[in-house]
Amino acid sequence: MEAWPRDTAQELAHYHRTRFLVRFLQMTGLRRFELAKASTADIRRKDGAFWLYVESKGDVVEYIPLTCAAMHEIGLYHMSTGRPGLPNPSRSEPLLMDITVVGRPVSVKTIHAELKVLFVPALEAYSDPYQVEKLKVCSAYW
Which of 44-53, 75-84, 127-136 shows the lowest per-residue confidence on average (mean pLDDT)?
Answer: 127-136
- Does pLDDT of 108 surpass 90? yes
DSSP single-letter state for residue 42: G
Instruction: Note the pTM of the prediction, 2 decimals.
Output: 0.87
- Does pLDDT of 38 surpass 80? yes
**Counting Cβ atoms within 10 Å, is residue 59 exposed (0-12), middle (13-18) or buried (19+)?**
exposed
How many residues can be counted in the chain? Answer: 142
Mean pLDDT for 69-94 is: 90
Mean pLDDT for 94-108 is: 87
Tell me how far apart the terminal alpha carbons of the chain are, to the nearest angstrom. Answer: 18
Nearest to 118 by CA among 40, 26, 9: 26
- Does pLDDT of 60 surpass 90? no
d(CA 138, CA 142): 7
